[in-house]
Structure 1
Amino acid sequence: MKLRLLAACTFAFSALASANGNLDPSYGPQADGRVIVPFDLGSPPTEQAVDALIDSDNRTYIVGQVKTADGLFQTGMTRLLPNGHIDQSFGVGGRSVTTSSWSKSPAGAAFASNGYILVAARRDFGDDAYFSVCNHSPETGTTVLFEGNNVACVFINPIVNGNDFVQDILVQPDGKIVLVGYSRNLAQKYIGTVVRLNSNGTVDNTFSGDGIAFIDLGDATLPHAVAWTTQNGGSILLCGSVRAPGVLQTDMLAARLRSDNGALDTSFSLDGWAAYTFDAEQNSEICNAMAVRKSDGVFFIAGQTTVGGVSKGAIKAVSPGGSPMANFAGGGLIIDGSGHFIINDVKLRADGSPVVLGTRADDETDLHVVAMTTAGVLQASFGTSGQRSIDFGLPGEAEQAAAMVLQNGRPVVVGHALTAPGQGYDFVAARLDTDVIFADGFIK
């Protein structure tokens, strides 16, 4: 009986210990839950992570921008083994960097339907900027030709002589590629912009006639997160920010496009889009990430608001029809604290509750994870009152969050950090030791 009781107590203690969001000591080359990946090519060397992917073998890909020796910015990529060590068989010494003669600013990554890696990036042409997407080998990181096409990169210029800023990428279940961002026309007006390509990189002319759909809401719109929903035969969800004419501040924006033709889906909030606020004051609010709960179609928009001049993480649950869910934190949660906090990514756990990753700035800047219940209450069993900061480098130096992926039920958080005196940013990743199981098969 004593042995049985001791075993039960040990199990309970172990479960509590693994549920608190500590760094996983079995992850990383220093057995401290963290890994730092320097490229050290430019002067000063600097890398900035923008996205992360995880494959069926539980290997993590970190994708971002790398400054090279010639002063250009290129797409950099590394692959981590399941234990957090750099995979030396990938690229050169576990790293891959593109070698084009022009700079690019990566914005997001996704697996193509054939397993290759698609990276969306802004490409500058003189005074103009284009959407671009390049096809990369998952084994070497180098660019390769699209299947059935003789190009490895595709460039799209939605507004000629304007500026087009790609922000995110989605691969639909049918393999079609969706690029989302915004364009600035000659009148300096920002317009939400969505481009859809076939799986081989050619323009999908069934989408809005020419493969390009604009979301023009009067003054400014900036969708930069995408998700897929099966509603109405398949729809594209977007989130970002919208500004009313003559107003300086922005509200969070969610919009839904019909997948068959790219038009705004008027079954969503009557007009196909809706704006969301967190308070009655004129504070700028921006959606940086979105996740869809598959069980009921409820989706979460997360990003930031401003309270007393301080940026705060903000998240809402929204019904499939576009109405805020009052049963989630009374319509929306502002994640408070003593310093600034901006949410960069949101994922859902198996019970449908959200976990967010962001950048927290108090006495120093760290990656920061916050877990909450389905009712929007911070989960006391995680970290300290539902929150956990992760430090990588120099005390007081800047660290920026990028993305979060799931590895066997454990969150791997990715970003970049200043990790040595006089150096630029390095890619970083950490794994939390937690027994909280996240929803599988989520779509970004």
Structure 2
Amino acid sequence: MVANTTMFRTLLACGLLQAGFAAATPLDGALDTNWGVLSSGKSPISFDYGGTMSDFASGSVIGPDGSMYISGTVRDANGVARMGVTRLLPNGLIDDNFGTDGRAMTQTSQGELFNTAGIAMRGNSLLVGGYKKTTADNWDFVVCAFSTGGVPLLFNSTLTSCVSASIEPGPSLSRDIPYGIAVQPDGKIVMAGTTAVANVSDTYAAFMRFETSGALDHSFGLSNSGIQLMRTNNFIRHQINAVAIASNGKIVGVGKTDVVGGNDSSALIVRLEADGTVDQLSQSDECVFEVDGSNSRDTELLGLALVPGGGGEDDMITVGYAQMSGTVHSALIAKRRGSTCAYDASFSGGDGTNGYATVTAGDSLGFHSVAVQPNVGYVVAANYTPTGGDSDWLVGRYYLDGTSDFLLTQIDFGNIHQSDVVADVHVFHDGIYVAGSWLKSGVNYDFGAARLLLDQIFADGFDG
């Protein structure tokens, strides 16, 4: 929306949007100086066990006491990719009692593992999802379990700390990659992503569900296989980037796709019934769209939050980017009604027009994650690349009607001309928690986390 774009550029031009400084209010959105290393509101976490020391964070989860668990792909002393997890105490410092010196990794016996789906919590256990690379062209979905103390846990079905499953729809290629993980109220594990068929550009949306024991759930998906693949004939590339469980048990995934004969990606939303059968959101199995002005350029959804709506259905708050002109990516947030593919027109900065908002700044801006702030709105985390610069994290907020708030905080971990890459965002009590990676030097990435203050003055929720 033009108003949001203009406001964002004005804040940048006036110098109000600086590293570690929140615009407009002295409290809401400011880095929490009672949290993190040296009271900075930020915590860099280094694994650096070997190889390129490129340790890349994929996701995080907040424990009931305010602890923060961050997962990613790390390299061991031999440079082999493994899944790694760390725990930050409620004060933002590394818990030295978690795993080994505050860090835990998958066991070498589990093979080379990549954490692409982030992390979820189930009771007192942590579930880390991604793929297992068995050969150059054979990649399988995998989920690994840790205790909240950083100790590998064993699945009952295999008595191993990781379980994997292959989709293998094609004769010569099996690249199965999950990008999202979610836990159902009954403890079953859902992962969603993509699988390649004949080549890496011929992909289906892929969903997989595991029992609590780690075995594939044979009450789910195609022929009770535990797997559901999705793509109708109008499309050639489906990819799910985020997945969530609705309050009525349905499974929602968002990502991107390509129309047959097209040159650009479109935003994709799909929904499954609780048993894995397709639940149509429109006249087609897929809900596919671009925003006005981007129909000949890429649009992609990267994050998702579900909010209870009317008629027993959850509304969908989706975030990502839309390529509105040239090569510049504009951040996108959209609200869609739970039972249809239609935009919720009430979410448009209050003017009741189109159901979405876009923001343009610098060379690129894309929302990667969204979290609900109850009764207030939606907090978004973005990768922001200033003109001629390198990316930083950016945190903003939208009210329930789609109006943009002045809570805008740019977070910079690295030195000048070093890239910081955001993973996700959470709202927990009176704080905003952000996780991602930052480039220390060369190709040496480390995990990073930050906490921003939220609703300090009217913490009881009665502010209007």
Global fold match (TM > 0.5): yes
Write out aligned runs for 1:223-238 (5 A): 223-231=240-248, 234-238=249-253
Write out aligned runs for 1:70-85 (5 A): 70-85=78-93
Write out aligned runs for 1:374-413 (5 A): 374-380=400-406, 382=407, 387-413=408-434
CA distance in 2, matches of 1:116, 1:293: 25
The alpha-carbon deviation at position 68 of structure 1 amounts to: 1.8
Which of 248, 262, 271 is the aligned partner of 1:256?
271
The alpha-carbon deviation at position 406 of structure 1 amounts to: 2.9
CA distance in 2, matches of 1:401, 1:361: 12
CA distance in 1, matches of 2:269, 2:402: 19
Residues 239 and 352 of structure 1: CA distance in aligned 2, closer, same or farther (over 3 Å): farther
The alpha-carbon deviation at position 22 of structure 1 amounts to: 1.4
Q: Alignment partner of 2:26: what SS?
A: helix
What does residue 331 of structure 2 align with? 313
CA distance in 2, matches of 1:83, 1:284: 40
The alpha-carbon deviation at position 108 of structure 1 amounts to: 2.6
Coordinate RMSD, CA, aligned? 2.1
The alpha-carbon deviation at position 16 of structure 1 amounts to: 4.3
The alpha-carbon deviation at position 339 of structure 1 amounts to: 2.7
The alpha-carbon deviation at position 26 of structure 1 amounts to: 0.5
Q: Alignment partner of 2:36: what SS?
A: coil
CA contact (8 A) 1:345 1:403 kept: yes
* TM-score, normalization by structure 2: 0.85
The alpha-carbon deviation at position 388 of structure 1 amounts to: 1.6
What does residue 271 of structure 1 align with? 284
Which of 377, 380, 404 is the aligned partner of 1:356?
380
CA contact (8 A) 2:268 2:301 kept: yes
CA distance in 1, matches of 2:445, 2:226: 37
CA distance in 2, matches of 1:376, 1:114: 34
- Give the AA of the match of 1:116: S
Q: Alignment partner of 2:39: what SS?
A: coil
CA contact (8 A) 2:332 2:357 kept: yes
Q: Alignment partner of 1:17: what SS?
A: coil
- Unpaired runs of 5+ residues, structure 1, are 1-14
State yes or no: 1:171 paired with 2:183: yes
CA contact (8 A) 2:73 2:82 kept: yes
- Give the AA of the match of 1:175: G
The alpha-carbon deviation at position 295 of structure 1 amounts to: 4.7
CA contact (8 A) 1:293 1:352 kept: no
Please identify, of 271-280 and 49-58, the stretch whose mean Cα deviation from structure 2 is larger: 271-280
CA distance in 1, matches of 2:377, 2:232: 31
- Give the AA of the match of 2:444: G
CA contact (8 A) 2:379 2:427 kept: no
State yes or no: 1:135 paired with 2:140: no
Write out aligned runs for 1:111-126 (5 A): 111-126=120-135
CA contact (8 A) 1:109 1:117 kept: no
What does residue 3 of structure 1 align with? none
Write out aligned runs for 1:98-247 (5 A): 98-100=106-108, 102-126=111-135, 127-140=137-150, 142-147=151-156, 149-159=158-168, 161-186=173-198, 188-208=201-221, 209-218=224-233, 219-231=236-248, 234-247=249-262
- Identity of paired residues, percent? 26
What does residue 91 of structure 1 align with? 99
What does residue 4 of structure 1 align with? none
CA distance in 1, matches of 2:187, 2:38: 39
CA contact (8 A) 1:110 1:171 kept: no
The alpha-carbon deviation at position 241 of structure 1 amounts to: 0.9
The alpha-carbon deviation at position 155 of structure 1 amounts to: 1.2
The alpha-carbon deviation at position 44 of structure 1 amounts to: 3.1
- Give the AA of the match of 1:225: A
What does residue 289 of structure 1 align with? 303
Residues 394 and 317 of structure 1: CA distance in aligned 2, closer, same or farther (over 3 Å): same
- Unpaired runs of 5+ residues, structure 2, are 1-23, 349-353
CA contact (8 A) 2:141 2:176 kept: yes
The alpha-carbon deviation at position 351 of structure 1 amounts to: 1.8
What does residue 444 of structure 2 align with? 424
CA contact (8 A) 2:329 2:360 kept: no
* TM-score, normalization by structure 1: 0.88
Q: Alignment partner of 1:30: what SS?
A: helix
Q: Alignment partner of 2:240: what SS?
A: coil
What does residue 62 of structure 1 align with? 70
1:90-127 CA-partner distances (Å, limit 9, x unpaired): 11111112232532110234445442111111111212
- Give the AA of the match of 1:258: E
- Give the AA of the match of 2:401: A
Residues 114 and 213 of structure 1: CA distance in aligned 2, closer, same or farther (over 3 Å): same
